[in-house]
Amino acid sequence: MRTLNNFIDGQWREPSGTTYLPDINPADTKEVVAESPSSTAAEATLAVEAAERAYPDWRATPAPQRGQLLYRVQRRMEVRRHELAEVLTREEGKTLTESNGEIQRAINVVEFYAGEGRRLLGETIPSELPNNFCYTVREPIGPLALITPWNFPVAIPIWKLAPAIACGNTVVLKPASLTPLSAGLIADIFSECDAPPGLINVIYGRGREVGEALLNHPAIKGVSFTGSNEIGTKLYSTSAVNGIKCQCEMGGKNPIVILDDADLELATSSAVQGAYGSTGQRCTATSRAIVVDSVADHFIEQLEARVNALVVGNGLDPMTDVGPSVDQTQLDTVLNYIGIGQDEGAKLITGGLRLADDAHDCGYFVQPTIFDRVTSNMRIAQEEIFGPVLSVLRVPDAASALVAANAVRYGLAAAIYTQDVSRAFKLVDQLEAGIIHVNSPTVGGEAHIPFGGMKETGVGLREMGREAINFFTELKVVYLDYTGSARKSNLY
Ligand code: NAP
């Protein structure tokens, strides 16, 4: 069990208080994986001041050299990948296979932004003025706050940190209180790679205490947040008042749309992967299957068989398909929604209960659950459950499938299953989602490809890929007049 301290100015600093938050293994609640300090606003201020001191030198470091640090981090992550994956499984609960996938994705992200250090391009633009050279440059914003959730505790901090520092910013990371050790290992790795003191700071503590202190510190020039809509929208309005840049990636209620000509076998396995992978605790999890009537019975039959075959258990066991909910609160939320679904009149096909036999009584395990005959007005069709629960909505045709798919406040990911390319493209045109998959599951993403949602899922600019550079830099325009003598300018 590791006792974590805050990582400030390149050093692990003991907090002023003595209150530590336990980091409990959700698959085995007898195990305390780590503990992290419940820091104060004053300690958050120390972290910001360290980032502020480090900023001028890091800003002045040529971007290709900034990328070199990320290449060292990539290599170090490769060396420590198994340890990272095991910690991730022990503190978050996902299976080791899923954790290894998350670590690989994080490594890919670091590699991609290491290379971006050599490609931090501006453009040259022809000016209306004679003898004028007009160009743009990308400059860093300043010290930034990165506030991250527990469900991807390695990949999400990394996909904010890597572009932020490649672009010349310094950062204070506030990880989720449920998964502090992953962030601790990230800080270890940057430290082992000779990151300058203050470039990356990690502050632990309750969001309300330290998160808000970060956001309201005048030296913080931007915030990149991933988490719930409840918190994200608050942060967005605070950022607007404080006049700082803000991006928020928030909840999802992602549909898989299955048309009558779909390859049902493929669609079913994708629905299982999307809905129950990572215990449904993904922002891109499939939580609604919108199925055309003529194939719905067949789909449900195949789905039920596959879901009943899923093995629920400790993610460290290679036989496990589905791990636990992350904590008691999340488990209660899932069970509460299962009750709501039954009260609303949806048909429970399988699952619905907490698993509490000898093999499961020390963890937050719930049976993978399917509801059929769900309608768009039900809460289980509208609200993010964040657990292994799939709602099936039956619709008469493709047009009503589209209406049902778009009838939610969120717009992160959607999947379409059809073998007709024309129908696929028509749906792609009309679906309100930031990421659309045709004949592949709603989940997943790649380092060099933009990621994020429409509607109430996302505000601010997209993450990942070259798009992330737009958030993590300011754009400066330069007019350079080489006339050599005074002349009248065309002032508009
Ligand atoms: P959350 O409760 O909103 O917490 C996210 C982060 O915000 C945590 O670090 C939290 O700290 C911090 N926080 C809480 N209150 C705060 C405040 N008043 N000021 C500043 N920071 C504060 O979300 P979560 O439960 O960790 O994550 C699950 C949610 O994330 C789901 O809705 C999921 O869809 C969403 N998500 C979205 C994406 C995407 O890309 N769209 C990706 C992954 C997850 P504490 O941990 O200390 O409370």
Each residue's pLDDT tens digit, 74-89:
999 999 999 999 999 9
- Residue 266's pLDDT is 98
490: pLDDT strictly greater than 80: no
Helix, strand and coil content of the chain, in percent to the nearest 5, comes to 40, 25, 35
Tell the burial category of 483 from Cβ atoms under 10 Å away from its Cβ (0-12, 13-18, 19+): exposed
Residue 476 CB less than 6 A away from ligand 1: no
- Report CA(393)–ligand 1 centroid distance (Å): 29
In whole angstroms, give the CA distance from residue 103 to residue 460.
26
pLDDT (mean) for 140-148: 98
In whole angstroms, give the CA distance from residue 192 to residue 202.
15
Q: State the pairing for strand pair 132-140/124-126.
A: antiparallel
> What does the domain layout of the chain look like in residue ranges?
2-250+457-478, 254-438
- Residue 332's pLDDT is 98
- Residue with the smallest CA separation from ligand 1 atom 39 is 249
- Residue 75's pLDDT is 98
- Residue 489's pLDDT is 59
Residue 231 CB less than 6 A away from ligand 1: yes
Beta bridge partners of 475: 138
Can 246 be counted among the known catalytic residues? no
- Residue with the smallest CA separation from ligand 1 atom 40 is 249
Lookup: tokens for 96:
């080791």
pLDDT (mean) for 182-194: 98
* Residue of 303, 293, 253 lying closest to 413 (CA atoms): 253
Q: In this structure, which CATH number among 3.30.10.20, 3.90.1150.10, 3.40.50.1000, 3.40.309.10 belongs to the domain 254-438?
A: 3.40.309.10
- Residue 491's pLDDT is 58
In whole angstroms, give the CA distance from residue 122 to residue 475.
8
pLDDT (mean) for 213-224: 97
Q: Measure the N-to-C terminal CA separation of the chain; round to a whole number of Å.
A: 65
484: pLDDT strictly greater than 80: no
- Report CA(41)–ligand 1 centroid distance (Å): 18
Can 362 be counted among the known catalytic residues? no
Each residue's pLDDT tens digit, 265-317:
999 999 999 999 999 999 999 999 999 999 999 999 999 999 999 999 999 99
Instruction: Say how far residue 247 (Cα) sits from the centre of its chain.
Output: 12
Each residue's pLDDT tens digit, 333-352:
999 999 999 999 999 999 99
Superfamily of chain region 2-250+457-478: Aldehyde Dehydrogenase; Chain A, domain 1 (3.40.605.10)
In whole angstroms, give the CA distance from residue 425 to residue 40.
52
Each residue's pLDDT tens digit, 303-329:
999 999 999 999 999 999 999 999 999
- Residue 17's pLDDT is 86
